[in-house]
A and B are shown apart, each in its own frame.
Chain A
């Protein structure tokens, strides 16, 4: 299957700092990328959908000024958690699709964020 690379896999930061997570599609052009948050033993929670070259669409309840998403190219999307607080600690996962009705969805390996 296609490869989606997500970095870093683990990050620890101090409260108040910002953290950037990168998601890259390595062998296909990702027209659409999705960002999820996952708490232990719970399902994926969609945070936002980003299409290359346009602003991300955020799900209800997700603060767009706190979770900045950039999808500047067909192979790269970034999620920046601004002024992180301990309650932002979570597992963040990106996924990417080439778009089109029958295109599959591939996931990155996830990023565990711990805010002290």
Chain B
């Protein structure tokens, strides 16, 4: 079993839709949770960084962490074509980072 599981998609939504991206994990030692956005042939860009269970909002993005269920989500409101990218979840314990495989998202105008 992988440490971090993420549905690779692809996911295709119309412009303006709410997007939900999810990851599950098995290691209860994970303390920090991140979401990255990666455009084709570019390095991943840090979108959200959270520690505790609950929600964290930043503009159109909301990161949700449920430590009891070992489940994290990223919600994108009012999705735009420019949101089309691969989204990677990541988790950290100590100085080690573990990544999901990424979900490919396409927002159709």
> What is the number of residues of chain A that contact chain B, defined by CB distance less than 8 Å?
26
Verify B51–A105 contact, CB threshold 8 A.
no
Within A92-116, the residues touching B (CB, 8 Å) are 93, 95, 97, 99-110, 112
* Residues from chain B with Cβ under 8 Å of A112 in the complex: 41
Nearest-Cβ distance from residue B3 to partner chain A, whole angstroms = 12
Nearest-Cβ distance from residue A57 to partner chain B, whole angstroms = 11
Q: In whole angstroms, how far apart are the Cα atoms of A95 and B99 in the complex?
A: 13
Please encode chain B, from 16 to 57, with 1 for each CB lying within 8 Å of some chain A CB and 0 for all others. 000000000000000110101000011111100101000000
| Most chain A CB inside 10 Å of its own CB: which residue of B43, B100, B101 | B43
Verify B44–A107 contact, CB threshold 8 A.
yes
Verify B99–A110 contact, CB threshold 8 A.
no
Residues of B within 8 A of A (CB): 31-32, 34, 36, 41-46, 49, 51, 88, 90, 92, 94-95, 97, 99-102, 104
- Name 22 interchain pairs, CB-CB below 8 A, sorted by A: A34-B97, A41-B104, A43-B88, A44-B44, A91-B41, A93-B44, A95-B43, A97-B95, A100-B95, A101-B31, A101-B32, A102-B32, A103-B95, A104-B49, A105-B92, A106-B46, A107-B36, A107-B43, A107-B44, A107-B45, A108-B43, A110-B42
